[in-house]
Amino acid sequence: MVSVYHKDKLDAVVRLLDELGITIYSTGGTLDFITGLGVKAQSVESLTGYPSILGGRVKTLHPKVFGGILARRSHAQDMAALSEYGIPPIDLVIVDLYPFEETVRSGAGMQAVVEKIDIGGISLIRAAAKNFADTLIVSSRAQYPALIELLQSGKGAATLAMRRSFAAQAFQQSSHYDTAIFNYFNVQEKLPAFQQSIPDSMPLRYGENPHQEARFYGRLNDMLEQLHGKEISYNNLLDIDAAVALIGDFSETTFAVLKHNNACGCASDNHPLTAWRKALAGDPVSAFGGIIITNSPVDAECAKEINELFFEVIIAPDYSGEALELLQTKKNRIILVLKNTILPAVQFRSLLNGAVQQNRDTAVETPNDLTPVTTKKPSEKEISDLLFANKLVKHSKSNAIVLARDGQLLASGAGQTSRVDALKQAIAKAQAFGFSLQGAVMASDAFFPFPDCVAIAHEAGITAVIQPGGSINDEKSTSYCNENSMAMVTTGVRHFKH
């Protein structure tokens, strides 16, 4: 039985079936294609005695088709039924599915999408896969080379192990197809069911540690193109994900250096080389072995200085020929082109004996989102720095504090159990790398439960603060700022990241 939507590469298969003397039944356009090759085939209508009806919606849904597929050859009663009703046993089913996902991605309307929900095809796949003991199911044109090799080597015969393998692939195909249909309808219905299917994957060398197996599921090449270097590791992917999410919030020319998912250096400047130098200055120690990302093409001038640092991965929208030549001098260095920064709108992760799902934090505050809560209002320069720092604190592990000035990350404290500890860590790091904090700004990913953080920040020289607000003790922090001529704004948006 051959009934496919996609006809490409089918010719070699049907010619081989014809050479092997295998009787072919087919439908509609597939039948026309096969006979057009000069290969003999019989119509399904000649088998069932019924025409294709309802505009092609019903072609193969008939006992004479499914009986031939599902009959168990080792069961005398099944074979007697085939004989009684004149049903030929069907040993091979080649069928694919209507392009449902492609139709959805095209932006087609509901009616066009619904018409691409396959009924006969999915039924044939499941029936043949269920009866893999006797029937071979080929559910994708990607399997044609394997089918041809199988038919040639076995002269038309397949082993049980082969049929079981093809059946497993068929069930994966049908499961993915049904999941795509469900998720299309569930955009509106919002049924509380977690169903995801990602058929594309690639093995990773190992997980977070060498004793852990790992695999990436998805089409990484749709987002990134690897130009050079070793295989991307599990930990590389975690850092790359954090880097892409961070750089996506910046429109101005920006460089960032990340280590263990946190930015240890970041700067924005109209001149890419200046942005790079300021980003590296933020923490040249942590930058060793880190991930570099920029939203600006990398030229030779930048590449020459970047090449002086040992790092694992660099990500940019483009590289000049000379820059690429310089960066490729380290054979293991991973060089990636970022094709786009559009990340999935929904995030999920395994948790306990289940999974959790949430909408991605896509909030990026603007000047209109800031509410001054102190007598002293931040200057235009301070507002620019506050928004810069707020983007960085959003992408830092909680509890997080970011200190910045002139579009440069001076230091951050991330992943601390206390907000005070995060601030003290940031101040100590800034001072260790020779930064004065006079006139710097501070961003916090969550509110201040007490005024201790603003007091410590003031003593260090910080003049302006941005935070979500919302604590029952907000007034205490505000009062301290008023008493010490500090400016503070709230956003009403918390940016926890765990």
What distance in Å separates the CA atoms of residue 457 and residue 480, rounded to the nearest whole number? 11
| Residues 264 and 287: beta-carbon distance below 8 Å | yes
Q: What angle do CA 140, 145, 149 make, to 5 degrees?
A: 130
* 319 DSSP 8-state letter: B
Q: Dump the DSSP string for 129-169.
A: HHTTTT-EEE--GGGHHHHHHHHHHHTT---HHHHHHHHHH
Rg (CA), the chain: 31
The residues assigned a catalytic role are 130, 260
Whether 11 and 2 have beta carbons less than 8 Å apart is answered as no
Alpha carbon separation from 48 to 28, 86, 88, 173, 407 (Å, rounded): 14, 10, 11, 27, 74
Give the span between the Cα atoms of 88 and 402, in whole angstroms: 73
Alpha-carbon gap, residue 348 to 358, rounded angstroms: 6
Q: Which of 8, 39, 40, 16 minimizes the C-alpha distance to 153?
A: 16
Task: Please answer whether residues 401 and 426 qualify as being in contact, where contact means their C-beta atoms are separated by less than 8 angstroms.
Answer: yes
Tokens of 401: 């504090």
379 contact partners, CB below 8 Å, separation of at least 6: 487
Residue 278 CB-density burial (10 A; 0-12 exposed, 13-18 middle, 19+ buried) = buried
Exposure on the CB side of residue 330, measured as CA atoms within 13 A: 19
> What is the β-pairing status of strands 464-467 and 441-444?
parallel
- CA distance linking residue 419 with residue 453, whole number of Å: 8
Q: Residue 456's beta-bridge partner residues?
A: none
Runs of H (alpha helix) within 248-299: 272-281
302 in Cβ contact with 272 (< 8 Å) = yes
Cα 82–chain centre separation: 48
For the beta carbon of residue 26, count every other beta carbon within 10 angstroms: 23
Give strand pairing partners of 309. Answer: none
How do beta strands 346-351 and 354-359 pair?
antiparallel
CA 38 to chain centre: 45
Of 314, 307, 171, 204, the C-alpha closest to 256 is 314
